[in-house]
């Protein structure tokens, strides 16, 4: 049973436009959420996180929104740049237990010129 | 070197071979992890070590044997693997094992089992 789901395996967005990547979770014990970005032949790198006490966290062009009632979070990238083309993983964890992040399957973002 | 370094980057082995994957972190972190990434599947946590002590074994078959000789090094010993074990194996570290800790990943070791 997948507790973290990224239902869109891929997304194509034009340069300069907004990219919106979505993630749904089922475990109500999750109280912190992270997005990782992965380029080919590299490991995932941390991008941005959000705690369940917030509904929004912003870092430059990247904003993560959390809707706890819907168990949904999204990552907005504005404006999208070609260098943003990568696979984006959503991850969720429960601070009450030992660190054990649960990851989604990833969404491949392609930013076109 | 900085960050998390994994060797080898690519490994091909037969089902009867014994090989090891190595991970080294230069971040002064206290926790280290092995993850498995198979095609079209989420990253799966295999093992967690905190201060060289294994704190999590996520129902991993015994043909995978981890070793953490110190807080900077982590090994994954491989023995009698199956073709379905072919995957990208990612090592990660974090400041501590509990709470909302950000993981720093290595580039991974791509394993092919023939």
pLDDT in tens, chain A (113 residues): 789 999 999 999 999 999 999 999 999 999 999 999 999 889 999 999 999 999 999 999 999 999 999 999 999 999 999 999 999 999 999 887 755 789 999 999 999 99
User: Three-state DSSP class for A55?
Assistant: coil
By CA distance, what is B89's nearest residue in A? A43
User: Three-state DSSP class for B45?
Assistant: strand
Q: What is the pLDDT of residue B40?
A: 81
Residues of B in contact with A2 (CB under 8 A): 42
Interface membership of B102 toward A (CB under 8 Å) = yes
Task: Kindly give the pairing relationship between strand B53-57 and strand B44-50.
Answer: antiparallel
How far from chain centre, in Å, is Cα A74? 6
Q: Quick check: B32 pLDDT over 80?
A: yes
- Answer whether B103 sits within 8 Å of A51, measured CB to CB: no
By CA distance, what is B34's nearest residue in A? A100
A91 closest CA partner among A40, A21, A13, A39: A21
- Answer whether B100 sits within 8 Å of A95, measured CB to CB: yes
């Amino acid at each position: 049973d997948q507790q973290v789901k990224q239902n869109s395996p891929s997304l194509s967005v034009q340069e300069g436009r907004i990219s919106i990547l979505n993630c749904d979770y089922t475990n109500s014990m999750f109280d912190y959420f992270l997005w990782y970005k992965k380029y080919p032949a590299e490991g995932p790198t941390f991008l941005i996180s959000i705690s369940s006490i917030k509904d929004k966290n912003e870092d430059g062009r990247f904003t993560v929104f959390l809707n706890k009632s819907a168990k949904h979070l999204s990552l907005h990238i504005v404006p999208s740049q070609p260098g943003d083309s990568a696979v984006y993983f959503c991850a969720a964890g429960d601070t009450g237990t030992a660190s054990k992040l649960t990851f989604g399957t990833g969404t491949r973002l392609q930013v076109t010129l | 070197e900085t960050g998390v370094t994994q060797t080898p980057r690519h490994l091909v082995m037969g089902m009867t071979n014994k090989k090891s994957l190595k991970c080294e972190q230069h971040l002064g972190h206290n926790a280290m992890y092995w993850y498995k990434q198979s095609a079209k599947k989420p990253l799966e946590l295999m093992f967690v070590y905190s201060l060289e002590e294994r704190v999590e074994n996520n129902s991993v078959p015994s043909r995978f044997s981890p070793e953490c000789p110190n807080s900077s090094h982590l090994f994954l010993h491989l023995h009698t693997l199956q073709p379905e074990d072919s995957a990208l194996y990612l090592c990660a570290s974090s400041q501590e094992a509990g709470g909302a800790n950000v993981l720093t990943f290595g580039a991974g070791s791509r394993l092919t089992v023939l």
